[in-house]
């Protein structure tokens, strides 16, 4: 892997130059549909059937030839002959003749000869006669056979992450198993002499409970189903970190290190990644705020990311850089974060020289508009993550954003 190494990189540079270097996992496995949520499809899913497969009424009423209802109204009903009743689930072979009407339930098959259905509310039955009090157009109140899905149609594309809302179509088409990509295995290592396990009684007020690594494991597992494991906590010790990271590189597809990514004397992450193998660190520092001391490297072809220790910076950096890397690894076609839309900011947001900003915001709905209240606080403030609904993205090189302007919103 020959790549140009950068000290600082913009988000665009990272997305255009470095993320494409992430190699997707090509191993596949076959799984049952009920286990498929969050897996990424490894093949186009092609329908072998038409759906609904028959001309289907979508109301309770009378199947008719629309031509016979022309001009029908309350005052001037069309009189049709009652022909027969269609039962739900029954395949009708009888044809409807002109000037006839057949009863069909919602979901029932519309007989040949009929091209529309009149809702029962607009009809009256008198023995063998059906009064139609509303005209219908051809195709009204029914689904044509194959209107929903056509045989041979791609219903889900290769590279799609399966969502619960896709399951109806899979079950409807009788698809039992899917070919998907294997999930990336991600090792998470936390660093720092001050860091302690979350559930111990702290001995000094200056000790900090490890929230980053454990929270990230839960996030990656629950939102994407990645096989994430918090492997270890390592003190600020080069030899110890090197040993742990080497083990991780042997056993996992990607490695994440929390903390030690800045430029202080104890910030050894970049130095250690450099020594682990080639090409090593490809950039150290992203032009974003928060999340600046992000490190991105590869050892052979395995991505290794150092994320800043501050929990908010860690979360933003994981959102903007780590998660796209893992989504790309899993073969997902659309792996970059996508804005939900634009929201109106409630307060002025000052700019930070040269850095794209991901400002945490709380959303409110006011006078028919989504408004974003910026939560200004340091990236060391964790309560921020509880209050925020997501981020607004302020591009680099703008002189801040004024209250009332619209900016892109990303859901957290």
Ligand X SMILES: Nc1nc2c(c(=O)[nH]1)N[C@H]1C(S)=C(S)[C@@H](COP(=O)(O)OP(=O)(O)OC[C@H]3O[C@@H](n4cnc5c(N)ncnc54)[C@H](O)[C@@H]3O)O[C@H]1N2
CB 139 within 8 A of CB 116: yes
308 binds ligand MOO (CB under 6 A): yes
Span 373-392, contacts to ligand MOO by CB under 6 A: 379
Q: Does 212 bind ligand MOO (CB under 6 A)?
A: no
Task: Indicate whether 160 belongs to the interface with ligand MOO (CB under 6 A).
Answer: no
Residue 194: name its binding partner from ligand MOO, ligand X, none (Cβ under 5 to 8 Å by kind).
ligand X
Task: Name the helix (H) or strand (E) containing 249.
Answer: helix 238-251
189-228 residues near ligand X, rule: CB under 6 A: 190, 192, 194-195, 208, 210-213
Q: How many CB atoms lie within 10 A of CB 153?
A: 14
Distance, CA of 190 to CA of 309 (rounded, Å): 9
By the rule CB under 6 A, 123 interacts with ligand X: no
Task: CB nearer to ligand X: give 290 or 374.
Answer: 290
Q: Is 297 one of the binding residues for ligand X (CB under 6 A)?
A: no
User: Which residues, other chains included, contact 82 with Cβ-Cβ below 8 Å and sequence gap of 6+?
Assistant: 100, 101, 102, 103, 125, 127, 128, 129, 130
The stretch among 34-42, 81-89, 160-168, 262-270 that binds ligand X (CB under 6 A) is 262-270
Provide the minimum distance between the beta carbon of 284 and ligand MOO in the complex, in angstroms, as a whole number: 13
3-state SS of 66-126?
Answer: HHHHCCCCCCCCEEEEEEEECCCCCCCCCCCCCCEEEEECCCCECCCCCCEEEEHHHEEEE
Output 215-218 pairs: Cβ under 8 A, ≥24 positions apart. Answer: 215/311, 215/315, 216/188, 216/256, 216/258, 216/314, 216/318, 217/188
Out of 36, 47, 212, 313, the only residue in the binding site for ligand MOO (CB under 6 A) is: 313
CB of 378 to ligand MOO, least distance (A): 7
Count residues contacting ligand MOO (CB under 6 A)? 8
Which of 100/262 has CB closer to ligand X?
262
Structure tokens at 367: 């006078």
Q: Is 284 in the site for ligand MOO (CB under 6 A)?
A: no
| Binding residues for ligand X restricted to 368-387, rule: CB under 6 A | 379
> Interface with ligand X includes 262 (CB under 6 A)?
yes
- The answer to the question of residue 267 lying near ligand X (CB under 6 A) is yes
Q: Angle at the Cα of 300 (from 295 to 306), degrees rounded to 5?
A: 15
Q: Which residues bind ligand X (CB under 6 A)?
A: 190, 192, 194-195, 208, 210-213, 258-263, 267, 290, 292-293, 308-311, 313, 379
Q: Which residues bind ligand MOO (CB under 6 A)?
A: 289-292, 308, 310, 313, 379
């Amino acid at each position: 892997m020959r790549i140009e190494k950068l000290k600082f990189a913009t988000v665009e540079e990272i997305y255009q130059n470095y993320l494409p270097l992430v190699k997707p996992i090509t191993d596949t496995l076959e799984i049952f549909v009920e286990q498929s949520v969050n897996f990424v499809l490894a093949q186009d899913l092609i329908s072998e059937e038409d759906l609904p497969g028959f001309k289907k009424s979508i109301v309770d009423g009378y199947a008719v030839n629309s031509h016979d209802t022309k001009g029908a109204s309350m005052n001037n009903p069309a009189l049709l002959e009652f022909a027969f009743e269609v039962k739900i689930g029954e395949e009708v072979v009888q044809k409807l003749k002109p000037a006839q009407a057949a009863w069909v339930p919602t979901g029932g098959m519309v007989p040949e000869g009929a091209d529309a259905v009149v809702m029962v509310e607009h009809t009256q039955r008198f023995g063998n006669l059906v009064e139609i009090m509303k005209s219908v157009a051809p195709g009204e109140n029914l689904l044509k056979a194959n209107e929903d899905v056509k045989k041979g149609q791609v219903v889900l594309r290769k590279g799609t992450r399966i969502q619960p809302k896709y399951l109806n179509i899979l079950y409807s088409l009788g698809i039992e198993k899917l070919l998907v990509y294997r999930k990336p295995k991600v090792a998470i290592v936390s660093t720092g002499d001050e860091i302690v396990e979350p559930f111990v009684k702290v001995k000094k007020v200056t000790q900090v409970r490890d929230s980053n690594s454990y929270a990230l494991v839960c996030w990656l597992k629950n939102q994407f189903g990645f096989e994430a494991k918090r492997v270890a906590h390592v003190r600020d010790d080069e030899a110890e970190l090197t040993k742990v990271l080497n083990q991780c590189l042997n056993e996992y597809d990607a490695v994440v290190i929390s903390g030690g990514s800045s430029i202080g004397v104890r910030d050894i992450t970049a130095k250690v990644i450099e020594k682990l193998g080639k090409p090593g660190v490809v950039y150290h520092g992203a032009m974003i705020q928060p999340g600046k001391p992000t490190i991105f490297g590869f050892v052979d072809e395995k991505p290794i990311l150092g994320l800043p220790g501050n929990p908010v910076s860690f979360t933003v950096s994981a959102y903007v850089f780590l998660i796209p890397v893992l989504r790309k690894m899993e073969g997902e076609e659309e792996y970059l974060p996508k804005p939900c839309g634009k929201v109106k900011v409630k307060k002025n947001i000052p700019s930070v020289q040269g850095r794209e900003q991901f400002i945490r915001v709380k959303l409110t709905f006011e006078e028919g508009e989504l408004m974003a209240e910026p939560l200004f606080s340091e990236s060391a403030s964790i309560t921020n993550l509880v209050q925020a609904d997501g981020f607004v993205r302020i591009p680099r090189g703008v002189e801040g954003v004024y209250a009332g302007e619209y900016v892109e919103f990303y859901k957290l």
